[in-house]
Amino acid sequence: MAAALASTHAHWSSRFAFIMAAVGSAVGLGNLWRFPFMTGQNGGSAFVLIYIGCVLLFALPVLMAELAIGRHAQQSAITSTRKMAIEAGKSGKWSIVGWVCTAAGFLVLTTYSVIAGQVMAFSAAGFAGGFAQPDGATMFYGTDGVKMLWHFGFMVLTILVVSRGLKGGIERVATILMPLFFLVLIGLTVYSLINGAAGAALTYLFAPDFSAVTGQTFIAALGQAFFSVSVASAIMITYGSYLPRDSNIGSSSVLIVSADTLVALIAGLMIFPIVFMVGMDPAAGLGLIFTALPQVFSTMPAGNFIGGAFFALAFIAALTSSISLLEATVAFVEENASFGRSMTAWLLGGFAFMIGAGAVYSEAFAGGFVDVLSGQILLPLGGFLVAVFAGWVIPKSLMRTELSHASPGLFAFFHFAVRYIVPVAIGSILVLGLDDRFN
């Protein structure tokens, strides 16, 4: 432990910087793009309720575990899990936990950048007056070549931030952009509730209706909870490794999941009034915000500006998340190779760009294969492994030392959750869900 303490590893400059970066990672396309269409496809309010349950019971304890593991070992996810297992007298092969999470995060990044590129294109379209014509956005995001350029541009931005490191890059971007994000979010939501079909949206999101619930609803909600809170993707272990020893992981985790869930619900209140106003089908799927919203923007007063602002908001959210996705893999390679941070960021970002490029040519690949593989298989599996690691592999006393600020009640909940609730529930959800899928 003394060696870990003496490490020269970078640290956050303040608690504010850490919270902004972690909330910036959590709040992303998962909240503004994925949550609305998952809710739409899974029956609205019942999904919302099950989702909130998944956040509290699964994502929160896994988040606490990840921050604690990273903070303890002060290294990337793969190295931290290996180091901590060995320290606990167990096999270094437990680094499999870090490997699965790192692979999941990297895979998410490949297509995340494609969707974020589309978001950038639509923001530009709005500010340039493109929503005035019904198919105006197509001019900005029509051909595959153009789509590739936006994907490329977004990945380059991500790489540039990560290559500048923790303080000069990630912290700076998060502390400036996140406060701006909240301002624009509140402004747009108030506008949408006043001008759109607020009543229909509220009923849809919050009036319980369990008729559409199936086994798939649970696996979808679980995958969405992990996706949205940025767990099971190596990010939070990595961000935890930049925490100083005296930080309060329990209260930070509660703050991060609360902010993330609040943003998802507010995003619902921003988007669904508009969707219902024009009578769009909320279950339109992947393209919900890219097809429904521009149509509305083309008919409403100041629609171009509002539309441009909406997609700019999503762009900010996406950037502070994609940098965390890239950082998780960069931290690992940087530890083990001598290319230096900047070169590592360009190499890994370039590799992710190329895999994502395949998705530009196939929405089925991007939204279907990669999204299902990462969101519904790898993330739940990663969360399962993190829970087993924190609940069974690492002694309870060691976890308690890392979570020393947590109240006895919160720690008892945490430990019971990672030891029993998360492994048993995810284990059965994975088996039943996959069984469902292949039958």
Mark the segment that binds ligand PFF (CB under 6 A) among 25-33, 56-64, 202-210, 292-300: 25-33
Out of 102, 189, 230, 329, the residue judged to bind ligand PFF by CB under 6 A: 230
DSSP state letter for 405: T
Q: Which of residues 293-352 bind ligand PFF (CB under 6 A)?
A: 321, 325
- Give the H/E segment covering residue 418: none
* Cβ nearer to ligand PFF, comparing 33 with 150: 33
* Cβ nearer to ligand PFF, comparing 75 with 321: 321
Report d(CA 218, CA 239) in Å as an integer.
28
Q: How far is CA 372 from CA 18, 120, 132, 165, 200, in A?
A: 30, 24, 35, 31, 30
Report d(CA 125, CA 142) in Å as an integer.
11
* Cβ nearer to ligand PFF, comparing 219 with 325: 325
CA angle 369, 219, 103 (to 5 degrees): 50
Does residue 158 belong to the site contacting ligand PFF (CB under 6 A)?
no
- N-terminal to C-terminal alpha carbon distance within the chain: 49
* Cβ nearer to ligand PFF, comparing 4 with 220: 220
Report d(CA 149, CA 142) in Å as an integer.
11
Does residue 108 belong to the site contacting ligand PFF (CB under 6 A)?
yes
Task: In angstroms, give the least distance from the CB of 264 to ligand PFF.
Answer: 8
Out of 61, 105, 268, 423, the residue judged to bind ligand PFF by CB under 6 A: 105
- Give the H/E segment covering residue 87: helix 77-87
Check: CB of residue 378 under 8 Å from CB of residue 103.
Answer: yes
Does residue 94 belong to the site contacting ligand PFF (CB under 6 A)?
no
Mark the segment that binds ligand PFF (CB under 6 A) among 85-93, 153-161, 222-230, 393-401: 222-230
Does residue 26 belong to the site contacting ligand PFF (CB under 6 A)?
yes
Task: In angstroms, give the least distance from the CB of 395 to ligand PFF.
Answer: 28
* Cβ nearer to ligand PFF, comparing 277 with 312: 312
Residue nearest to ligand PFF (CB): 30
Check: CB of residue 330 under 8 Å from CB of residue 345.
Answer: yes
Does residue 31 belong to the site contacting ligand PFF (CB under 6 A)?
yes
Out of 41, 228, 252, 344, the residue judged to bind ligand PFF by CB under 6 A: 228
Report d(CA 200, CA 104) in Å as an integer.
36
Task: In angstroms, give the least distance from the CB of 199 to ligand PFF.
Answer: 28
CA angle 308, 184, 30 (to 5 degrees): 80
* Cβ nearer to ligand PFF, comparing 22 with 293: 22
Report d(CA 233, CA 77) in Å as an integer.
9
Longest dimension (CA), the chain: 65
Does residue 29 belong to the site contacting ligand PFF (CB under 6 A)?
yes
Q: Site size for ligand PFF, by CB under 6 A?
A: 17
Report d(CA 417, CA 155) in Å as an integer.
36
Check: CB of residue 225 under 8 Å from CB of residue 59.
Answer: yes
Task: In angstroms, give the least distance from the CB of 24 to ligand PFF.
Answer: 9
* Cβ nearer to ligand PFF, comparing 113 with 298: 113
Mark the segment that binds ligand PFF (CB under 6 A) among 8-16, 230-238, 269-277, 410-418: 230-238
Residue whose pair of structure tokens reads 């180091």 in the numeric block: 83
Q: Which residues, 6+ apart, have CB-to-CB distance to 57 below 8 Å?
A: 417, 421, 422, 425
Instruction: Tell me the H-state helices in 230-362.
Output: 235-241, 249-277, 288-297, 303-336, 341-360
Q: Which of residues 345-404 bind ligand PFF (CB under 6 A)?
A: 379
* Cβ nearer to ligand PFF, comparing 35 with 411: 35
Out of 23, 24, 30, 256, the residue judged to bind ligand PFF by CB under 6 A: 30
Does residue 233 belong to the site contacting ligand PFF (CB under 6 A)?
yes
Does residue 36 belong to the site contacting ligand PFF (CB under 6 A)?
no
Q: Which residues bind ligand PFF (CB under 6 A)?
A: 25-26, 28-31, 104-105, 108, 227-228, 230, 233, 235, 321, 325, 379
